[in-house]
Structure 1
Amino acid sequence: MRTFFTTSFLFIFLILLMVSCQSSQPTFSKRGETYKSAREIAEEKRLARKSGRMAERRRTKGKPLASKDRTSRTKVYNPRRVDEDVATVIETARSFTGTPYRWGGTTRVGMDCSGLLCTSFESIDVKLPRTSEEQSRYGKDVRVKDLKEGDLVFFGANRNSREITHVGMVTEVISDNDVKFIHASTSLGVIENNFFAEHYQKIFIKAVRPFSE
């Protein structure tokens, strides 16, 4: 009888030992691999994702910005597309010719000077800042003798003012003293004038080029 209980006890003990040994093996480890905790595995995955993001940044460094990034900085253009984009913006602006001036307006019902440019640049999916003063910082400064189509020209309220209150866009360079620009005039609405007219030369402050080359 004692032999029977002793044998049974040993049999049960061996079964429990085998079960214990089997359950101690991590279910996510493969044969030959070193045991890794869930925390270690998660940390390895996090580092791998971080390494992938850094590799992607290096791969895309210097490439044109995606459209979703255009709202906060100057658009980087493919040189072959510059002329096409400029033409599109100018054509859109000219389509508003005769629209009455309306402070804060951006539609055919009425628009102000910066509103005209905001609406025109939307035709190429570029969101300009809303005010003329902010737009004057959107791009690089350009000398008057280097003006070309698509450049933005900024003006003050009078000859002695250095505060930007008005903006227009160059639409056509005909000669050294005949450069057309379109703007929303408070008295005549959206209209094109000669940039070198005496009145505009007196109040001109600066020009910028929003299209990178």
Structure 2
Amino acid sequence: MASSTKLSFTLFFAFSMFLQGTLGEVICETLPTNLCSFAIASSGKRCVLENYRNQEGKLEYTCKTSEVVVERIAGYIESDQCVNACGVDRSFVGISSDAFLAPQFTASLCSPACYQNCPNIVDLYFNLAAGEGVYLPAVCEKQKSNPRRAMLALLSSGGGAAPGPVATDSADFVADAPAPSFSDFVADAPAPAPAFF
């Protein structure tokens, strides 16, 4: 009888965590670490996975609320489908543009399965790219025709990076509009956010 009570309690706890996420009440600090990365708290701030050393010196992970605010999305946990389509990993620690250095990541991010269907992940990397002075839609356009040239543009854009963009009206970006020329990869001004939301 004690084991059935324990099982019932475990199922109740698991169901309540699932129900909390589906109802839109997302608190980063209460998320399991395997759902933390690419989640957005109900407050509109991104959740980030962080690591620390416990008292025994072992590396452990925890989910924290970052200061990065996402316009138009709150209380959202990214789907496994988008995580897979975009080539990201829920075990990413922190938020970084380092992923752009892997050509296969840029190819996954720019793929139609990700770029057209996963606005949360695209928005995150759009802003990270802009922080490096790179316009993500142009990189994705270049990725279609010449992946090596797109990677070269990313690598050469470091240094004089423009500040990250501030979310603007979604009408400022049209997905079917012609991409800027190769020389427009380095941003002189913040780029508009993708119109996914």
Asked if Structure 1 and Structure 2 have the same fold, meaning a TM-score greater than 0.5 normalized by the shorter chain, the answer is no
TM-score range normalised by the length of the shorter chain = 0.3 to 0.5
CA radius of gyration, larger in: 1
Q: What TM-score do you get using the length of structure 2 for normalisation?
A: 0.33
The structure where strand makes up a greater share of residues is 1
Q: Give the number of the structure with larger relative contact order, counting CA–CA contacts within 8 Å between residues 6 or more apart.
A: 1
